[in-house]
Structure formats: structure tokens, C-alpha cells
């Protein structure tokens, strides 16, 4: 029997033998070098600043926190006032109370700051201000949605959206009873409300 087999001469053949690497004629010096190298490599892999360890796919997706410009009330819900600024090419979404404004990309003709305000979270009217005033002329339709899911018995056949233009006038809108909302479509924004018995003018 050769030297490699002497190690297992008296071993019970029924007992599994752990697999191991075969190193020919290992000397104490080479063993020490290999051990030191293994410790070094292990330490690098656990180093939090080692290249490739931050954000690697094996680490899973990164969690990104975004701090809103306007913090919602402590008791939940949405803030009563929200202000945001967009460049001419950006899109934006903002919600106050039951109202949500959605502006698609490339809708503005210039950078603008837009403010939405409601008197309270249940308000059926929203004040919309666009600055500078010259920016309040959108190249494509923007959408202002009223969420009516909390209004018991709302009659979508009689309700409608009005906008202020020196007087309350009927806006372009659509009713969605299944989604429990109404969507107004605008190229000029202003104060807007949901009302019953909507005609061409109130």
C-alpha cells in the first residue's frame, strides 16, 4: 500500500471519510503561507468597503427612502397643501385630500411651480395655482381626479366637475362609478370642484 493510503489503513470502511484537498509534500512554511492567504481573502470578502460588495445583485434590492417635501399629518391621510416644481419636460403627481393631479411628461411650456390646497381632507373643492402664470397653458391634457370612495350614495349620473373661470363652468370630465372617482381634463388649471346637477354654468 502506498503512503497516501496509510492514513486510512485502520479506518472503518462503513464510515464516510470527509473530502479533502490533496497537497503533496506540504511543509510547515507552505502551510503557514496558505493559511495566511485564506485569512486575508476571507477578511477582504467581509470588508464592507471592498469593491463590488455594495449593491451587488447577491445582496438583494436596495431600499431607497424618499422624504416628501410636505409631510402627511401625523394621524394619516394626505396634507392639505402640496407644492412641487417641474421642468418643462418632467412629469409629476401630487395629492391633497381627495384630489390627485397628474401631469404627463412634456406637458409644460416652461418650468413651473404648482400648488394644490384643500380646506380639509373631505373638501369637494381644490384650489390650484400655477406659477408663473404664463406656464398655466399646457401643451397636452393634464388630469385632476376626485376620489369619491368615501362619499356614501354619490350619484355619478348627476355629479360633475366644475372649474372657476370668473364663474363656475362645466369642465371636461368623465365619471367612473366602479373606480369611485371622477376625472377632469384640463389644459389650464384653476380652482375646481365636484357638484351635483352640473350644467354648462352654475
Q: Which domain holds residue 110?
A: 81-196
- Residue 109 pLDDT: 97
Q: Give the mean model confidence (pLDDT) for residues 131-139.
A: 98
Q: Is residue 85 part of a domain?
A: yes
| Residue 39, all three cell numbers | 485569512
- Residue 37 pLDDT: 52
| 85 lies in the same domain as 175 | yes
| 128 lies in the same domain as 179 | yes
Least confident of 35-49, 63-77, 129-143, 155-169: 63-77
Among 173, 47, 189, smallest CA distance to 131 is for: 189
| 40 lies in the same domain as 97 | no
| 186 lies in the same domain as 87 | yes
Among 160, 142, 150, 149, smallest CA distance to 101 is for: 142
| 166 lies in the same domain as 85 | yes
Q: Give the mean model confidence (pLDDT) for residues 96-109.
A: 97
| 104 lies in the same domain as 7 | no
Least confident of 114-128, 135-149, 155-169, 188-202: 188-202
Report how far apart, in Å, the C-alpha atoms of 122 and of each of 97, 109, 148, 150, 168 are. Answer: 6, 32, 9, 8, 20
Q: Is residue 72 part of a domain?
A: no
- Residue 72 pLDDT: 45
Q: Give the mean model confidence (pLDDT) for residues 14-36.
A: 45
The CATH number covering residue 129 comes to 2.60.220.30
| 142 lies in the same domain as 43 | no
Q: Is residue 75 part of a domain?
A: no
Q: Is residue 71 part of a domain?
A: no
Percentage with pLDDT > 90 across the chain: 55
CB-based contact 154:148 (threshold 8 Å): yes
61-101 residue pLDDT tens: 433 333 344 444 444 456 899 999 999 999 999 999 999 99
| 128 lies in the same domain as 184 | yes
Q: How far apart are CA 52 and CA 151, in angstroms?
A: 53
* pTM beyond 0.75, yes or no: no
| 91 lies in the same domain as 54 | no
Report how far apart, in Å, the C-alpha atoms of 1 and of each of 6, 7, 10, 17, 29 are. Answer: 7, 11, 13, 18, 28
- Residue 185 pLDDT: 97
CB-based contact 184:145 (threshold 8 Å): yes
157-178 residue pLDDT tens: 999 999 998 999 999 999 999 9
| 179 lies in the same domain as 103 | yes
Q: Is residue 20 part of a domain?
A: yes
Q: How far apart are CA 122 and CA 102, in angstroms?
A: 20
Q: Is residue 76 part of a domain?
A: no
126 Cβ contact partners less than 8 Å away, ≥ 6 residues apart: 96, 97, 99, 116, 117, 118, 144, 191, 192, 193
| 180 lies in the same domain as 141 | yes
Q: Is residue 37 part of a domain?
A: yes
Domain count, the chain: 2
Q: Is residue 66 part of a domain?
A: no
Alpha helices in 117-187 (DSSP H): none
| 100 lies in the same domain as 150 | yes
Higher pLDDT, 69 or 148: 148
58 has pLDDT over 70: no
Number of C-beta neighbours around residue 86 at 10 A: 18
Amino acid at each position: 500500500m502506498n503512503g497516501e493510503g496509510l492514513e486510512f489503513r485502520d479506518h472503518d470502511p462503513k464510515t464516510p471519510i470527509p473530502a479533502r484537498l490533496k497537497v503533496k509534500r506540504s511543509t510547515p512554511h507552505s502551510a503557514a503561507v496558505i493559511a495566511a492567504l485564506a485569512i486575508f481573502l476571507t477578511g477582504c470578502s467581509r470588508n464592507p468597503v471592498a469593491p463590488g460588495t455594495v449593491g451587488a445583485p447577491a445582496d438583494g434590492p436596495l431600499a431607497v427612502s424618499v422624504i416628501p417635501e410636505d409631510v402627511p399629518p401625523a394621524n394619516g391621510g394626505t396634507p392639505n397643501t402640496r407644492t412641487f416644481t417641474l421642468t418643462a419636460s418632467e412629469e409629476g403627481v401630487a395629492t391633497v385630500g381627495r384630489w390627485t393631479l397628474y401631469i404627463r411628461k412634456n406637458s409644460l411650456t416652461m418650468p413651473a411651480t404648482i400648488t394644490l390646497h384643500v380646506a380639509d381632507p373631505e373638501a369637494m373643492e381644490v384650489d390650484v395655482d400655477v406659477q408663473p402664470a404664463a406656464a398655466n397653458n399646457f401643451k397636452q391634457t393634464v388630469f385632476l381626479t376626485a376620489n369619491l370612495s368615501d362619499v356614501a350614495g354619490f350619484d355619478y349620473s348627476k355629479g360633475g366637475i366644475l372649474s372657476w373661470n370668473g364663474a363656475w363652468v362645466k369642465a371636461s370630465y368623465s365619471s367612473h362609478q366602479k373606480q369611485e372617482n371622477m376625472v377632469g381634463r384640463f389644459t389650464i388649471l384653476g380652482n375646481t370642484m365636484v357638484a351635483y346637477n352640473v350644467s354648462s354654468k352654475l
